[in-house]
Amino acid sequence: MAGPSDTVALIADVPFFGGLTEKTRKAVVSEGKEIAFKAGDMAVGESGTGVGFYLVLDGKVEVRKGAKVLATLEKGQFFGEMSVIDGQPRSADVVAVAPTRCWVLPSWSFAGLVQAHPEVALPMLKELVKRLRAAQSSPTS
Beta carbon nearer to ligand CMP, 91 or 100: 91
Q: Single out the residue of 39, 46, 74 nearest to residue 59, CA to CA.
A: 74
Q: Single out the residue of 43, 70, 42 nearest to residue 136, CA to CA.
A: 70
Per CB under 6 A, does 77 bind ligand CMP? Answer: no
Q: Single out the residue of 67, 64, 59 nearest to residue 39, CA to CA.
A: 59
Least distance (Å) from ligand CMP to the CB of residue 81?
5
Element containing residue 22 per DSSP (H, E): helix 22-29
How far is the C-alpha of 42 from the C-alpha of 39, rounded, in Å? 9
Name the one range near ligand CMP by CB under 6 A: 22-30, 33-41, 82-90, 101-109: 82-90
Least distance (Å) from ligand CMP to the CB of residue 31?
18
According to CB under 6 A, which one of 83, 101, 102, 113 is a site residue for ligand CMP?
83
Residues 111 to 140 in contact with ligand CMP, rule: CB under 6 A: 131, 135
